[in-house]
Structure 1
Amino acid sequence: MLQGETIILPRFRLSDIKSATNDFDETYRLGLYTNGTVYKAELDHSGNNDLLLTKGKNNSEPCKKHRSVAIKRFTGGNTMQVRQESFAELEMLTSYKQSELVSLLGFCDEGAEMILVYDYYPSNKNLGDYLQSDHSVHNLTWTHRLHMCLEIARGVKYLHTKTAKHSNINSSNIILDKYCHAKLAYFGISKLHSANQEVVGTKVYEDPEYKTTGKLETKSDIYSFGVVLFEILCGKLAYDPVHIKVNDKGLAPIARQCFKDGTIERLIDPKLKEENDQDNFSSVRGPNQDSLETFSKIAYQCLGEAAKRPSIEIVIKELERALDFHVSQY
C-alpha cells in the first residue's frame, strides 16, 4: 500500500478492473488523453478498502458494495517514465485530502499496466463539456461562477505548494459535480479533441512564452488559468469557432484587446445580463461594474508577460474581492 501523511490507498486488482470495464471496452470510455484514457467502472473490493465496503446486516461481516469510479489507464503501460509520473501524482494526492481536487481512491501497478482509480461524479461533465452545451453553464449565476473560479484557483494553489512543475490547467481537466462545484482532475495530461480541434484546443491554453523559453512552469499555469477565467466569463470555450474566426489563437488575445479597449463587456455571456424579474435578490443578474473590473483586471494580468503575472495567492485575493463587490449590492 502507498501511504501519504494521512491517507492509505488500496491496490486494486487488474482482473477486477478489466472485468468492470469489459477489458477496457470503448463503451466505458469517458475521455481520451495524450498519455492515457479514462473509463467509468463499477468496482467492488473485498480487501481492507473501507471506501468501498459496507457492513452486512449483522454488522460483523463486510459485504461488497459497488461504487462508480473513474479509471485512468496510462497509455505508456508500466514504463519507468509512466511510473515516475503516476507515483508523483499519487504522492501529491495522498498528502492530505483537498476538496478542490478529485479524490484518488487507489491504484493498480500490475504487469504491463499502470492505473489510477479516482472518485466518479454523476454529472460526468468537465467544464469544457459545459461550455460546449447550449444551456448548462449559461444557467450559472455570476455568484456561482465566481465561486467556481475560486475553487479552481485554490486547487491550483495546492498543486503549486506540492510541486513546482506545470500542471496543465485547462477546462477539460476541471470536473464539475452535480452542484457544479469545480475540482481539478487528471492534471499533467491534456485532453484530446476531435481532429479539427486537437491542435487549437491544446494551444489556446499554452503559455505563449513557451515557444522561446521551451519551459512550462507554475507561471504557465497562471496563464492557462487566465484563459479559463475568460472562458467562464463569456460562457464559451477558448477555441470556440466564434473566437477562432476572429483570431486563430482563440480567446486569450481577444480578451486582452477588449480589456485594453475598455470593451470587455461585449465578451460577457448574454445570460449574465438577464435580470430575474421575479426575485430582486436573485444573483442571476450579471456582475456590477466593480466586480467586473476586478475580475477582468486579474484575468488580464494572468495573460501578461510571465515575469509580471500574479501569484495564485494574489489571484485568489482578487477573485474574493470581485465576489465581495458583487454580493454587497444586494
Structure 2
Amino acid sequence: MAAFTYYIAAILLILLPAVTFSDIASDRAALLALRSAVGGRSNLWNISEPNICVWAGVACSRDHSTVVELHLPGVGLSGVVPPNTIANLTNLQTLSLRYNALVSPLPSDLGKLTNLRNLYLQHNLFNESIPDFLFSFINLVRLNLAMNSFSGPITTSFNNLTRLGTLYLEENQLSGPLPDLNIPGLVQFNVSNNNLTGPIPKAIAVKNPKSAFVGTSLCGQPLNDLCDNGVGHDGGKKKKKKLSGGAIAGIVIGCVVGVLLILLLLLCLCKKRGNKNAAPVASKSVEAGVKETAVEIPREKSVESVERDGLGGGFAAIGAKMKDKEKVEGGNVGGKSLVFFGKTPKAFDLDDLLKASAEVLGKGTFGTAYKAGLETGITVAVKRLRDVVVSEKEFREKMDGIGKMDHANLVPLLAYYYNREEKLLVYEYMPMGSLSALLHGNKGSSRTPLNWETRANIALGAARGITYLHSQGSSHGNVKASNILLTTTYQARVSDFGLAPLVSPTPTPNRVAGYRAPEVTDARKVSQKADVYSFGVLLLELLTGRAPTHALANEEGVDLPRWVQSVVREEWTNEVFDLELLRYQNVEEDMVQLLQLGIDCTDNYPDKRPSMPEVTEKIEELCRTFNSQDSTGIMEDA
C-alpha cells in the first residue's frame, strides 16, 4: 500500500509542471478558436509569438500561467461566439466584447466562468432573452448589456448577483414589469429605452435618477407619473372623484370670461400702440459710427434680449447702448477707447469693432464670446464680460497684468474696452475652437478621431501655459476643456486666465463644478494647487473621452476623478480609456502613466498634488518617449 501511494505521488509531481503549462496552452487554443470564428482585429494577433500574454487585449496572471482579462472592444468582431472558446478561459475575471457586431446566441458554456467579475457586452447585436447562465456569476461586480436587442423580462434572478455594483440594461427590447431588485451594492443602474411597464419599485426609485427610467412605460417616482392602476408615488391608492354638473358649468363659465378678458386686453394694447410713433431703431446709430443693420431692433429692447432673440448683424445694439451712455455722461465712442497691449498693431479701432459681423461662439463662466469679422479682413474673438464687480482702477490694473502675459501656449489679449455698462476683451481668434468641442461636439461618422499623439501634445501645451501663469505668481482660476483653444495645427492655447477675481460668484453649473477642486469655496479665490486639480480632471477627460459632468437635462453629474479611481482599484484600467485611443498600438504604458498623473493631480488633499512644473516635466518625458518610438499608427479595420 505504501509503495502504491509513493507511486501515485511521484506521478503527480512529474505531471505538475505539465498541468501548469496546459493551462496557458488551453487558453492559447481557446483564443485561436475565437479568432478564427469571429475575426475582427484579433486577426492582428501575432500567432507566431508563443507568449499570448503580450497579445493586444490579453492580460495574464502575474506568473503568466493563465489569462485573467480579455479586452476586445470595438475591434470588428462579428458572428456567433462558439462554444469551447471563451468558456475555456476558466480563470477569466474581465471580459469586454463591447462595440462589436456579435449576434445571438451566447454559448451557455460561458456559465463555467465562475471567477468573472466584469462583463461588458454593450453595443452588439444580441437579440435573445437574458441568458440564465449570467445569474450563476456570483462574483460579478459590473454587468453591461446595454444597446443590444435583448428581449423578454427582467427577472428577480438578478438578486442572485449579490456583489453587483453596476447593471446597465438600457436601449434593449426588454418588456414586462421591473422587479424589486434587492442588491445592496448596486450603485449604477439604467433600464431606460425599453418596453418596460408598471410601477418602479420604491427601493430602486430612491437610489436612481430619472434618466435611468426614461423612454419606458414605467410609472411612479422619479418619473413624476402616477400609475394608471391608481397607485401613486407612495404606493397608496388615488381617490377617484367625479365632477358634479355645477362644477363643470362653473369651469366653462370661467373659461369664457377669461377668454373675453384676454381679448379685451389685447384690443387695448393694439390701440395704444397705434397712437404712438414707432420707436427709434438700432439702425439709427449710423451717425455714431456704427454700421447699419438689416434688422430693425426696437430701442426698448435690452442688449440681453437682442442676444436672446438673435437680432442684429453685429455689435450694433451694443454700440447704440454705449453711445446713449456716452451722451449722458459726456465723452465719445472714439478709436482711442480701445486700449491695446505691447506690440499689437493698432489695425482697427472701436468703431471698426462695432461695425463687425458677429457670431456667438459660446456663453461661458465670465460672459459671452463672439467671433468678430472686421471689414478689413481681420478676425478676432471678443468676450463681453458680465457681472464685473471691481472698480475701474482695479479692472485696468488687472487688464494690464493679463496683457503683459506672453507665452506660446496662452491666447493673447490684444486689447480691451471699459465703461460702466460694457467691458469688452479682444483676443486673437483660434480657428479650431475648443478642446471640449473637439472631444464631445461631433460624434457622427464624419468625426476626425483624436489620436494619442495629438492628445498628449494638447495636454503638454496646456500644461506649459498654466505653468507659465504660475511662474508669474498668478493662477488661472477656471481651467476646463472649453478654455483650452486650438490652433490649426492643434497646438493648445489657454484662454480666460486671470478673469476669476473680476466677476461676482454665480451659481456653479455642472460643467464648471466638475473641474473645481473640493477645497474651493470662493470662485474668485483659486489657488495654484486648485489649478492643478482642474488640470488633472482635464487629463482624465482627454484619456477617457468623458466630460467631467453631464450637462444634459435630467442627468446627474459624473465625478470623473472618483469614477476613474474606482475603475483602477478594480484592476480593469483598459476600460477607462476612450475607444478612439484603443485603436493605437504600443502606447498603453504611456496612457497609463498619464492616467496616473491625472489621478495624482486630483488628490483631495492639495499638499499631495504635484506642482504644475512637475506635471509639465512628466508630460514632456512621455511625449519624448512616443515621439522617439513613432508609435501612432492606426490599426486598420479587418
**TM-score between the two structures when normalised by the length of structure 2:** 0.40
- Residue 19 in structure 1 maps to residue 319 in structure 2: no
Distance 2:524 2:371 in 1: 35
- Residue 316 in structure 1 maps to residue 616 in structure 2: yes
- Residue 225 in structure 1 maps to residue 535 in structure 2: yes
CA RMSD after TM alignment: 3.3
Counterpart contact for 2:510–2:551, Cα < 8 Å: no
- 5+ residue gaps, structure 2, are 1-337, 501-507, 631-638
Counterpart contact for 1:73–1:116, Cα < 8 Å: yes
**% identity of equivalent residues:** 27
Name the residue aligned to 1:300. Answer: 599
The equivalences for 1:108-187 within 5 A come to 108-110=417-419, 112-123=421-432, 125-132=433-440, 133-134=442-443, 139-187=449-497
Moved more, 218-227 or 156-165: 156-165
Distance 2:582 2:616 in 1: 24
Total equivalences in the alignment: 283
Distance 2:543 2:369 in 1: 28
The change in CA–CA distance for 1:162 and 1:11 in structure 2 (over 3 A counts) is farther
Please tell me the residue identity of whatever aligns with 1:256.
Q
Distance 1:241 1:29 in 2: 19
**TM-score between the two structures when normalised by the length of structure 1:** 0.74
Which one has the bigger helix percentage? 1
Counterpart contact for 1:259–1:300, Cα < 8 Å: no
Please tell me the residue identity of whatever aligns with 1:71.
V
When Rg is computed on C-alpha atoms for both structures, the one with the higher figure is 2
Please state whether the residue corresponding to 1:160 is helix, strand or coil.
helix
Counterpart contact for 2:470–2:528, Cα < 8 Å: yes
Distance 2:456 2:540 in 1: 11
The change in CA–CA distance for 1:104 and 1:287 in structure 2 (over 3 A counts) is farther
Name the residue aligned to 1:73. Answer: 384
1:94-136 deviation per Cα after TM superposition (whole angstroms, max 9, x unaligned)? 24x311111222222356322111111223x211111212168
Counterpart contact for 1:222–1:312, Cα < 8 Å: yes
Please state whether the residue corresponding to 2:580 is helix, strand or coil.
helix
Could you tell me how far 1:267 is from its partner in structure 2?
Answer: 1.3
The equivalences for 1:86-125 within 5 A come to 87-95=397-405, 97-110=406-419, 112-123=421-432, 125=433
Distance 2:548 2:397 in 1: 31
Distance 1:161 1:91 in 2: 13
Please state whether the residue corresponding to 2:497 is helix, strand or coil.
coil
Name the residue aligned to 1:194. Answer: none
- Residue 206 in structure 1 maps to residue 521 in structure 2: no
Counterpart contact for 1:11–1:107, Cα < 8 Å: no
1:243-280 deviation per Cα after TM superposition (whole angstroms, max 9, x unaligned)? x97x7443121112223333322111111112xxxxxx
Quick one: higher RCO (CA 8 Å, sep 6+), 1 or 2?
Answer: 1
Name the residue aligned to 1:277. Answer: none
The change in CA–CA distance for 1:117 and 1:87 in structure 2 (over 3 A counts) is farther
Counterpart contact for 1:170–1:205, Cα < 8 Å: yes
Counterpart contact for 1:9–1:107, Cα < 8 Å: no
Please tell me the residue identity of whatever aligns with 1:103.
P
Please tell me the residue identity of whatever aligns with 2:458.
M
Please tell me the residue identity of whatever aligns with 1:207.
A
The change in CA–CA distance for 1:69 and 1:137 in structure 2 (over 3 A counts) is same
- 5+ residue gaps, structure 1, are 22-26, 45-64, 191-197, 275-284
Counterpart contact for 1:200–1:249, Cα < 8 Å: no
Please tell me the residue identity of whatever aligns with 2:487.
D
Name the residue aligned to 2:361. Answer: 30
Distance 2:577 2:622 in 1: 15
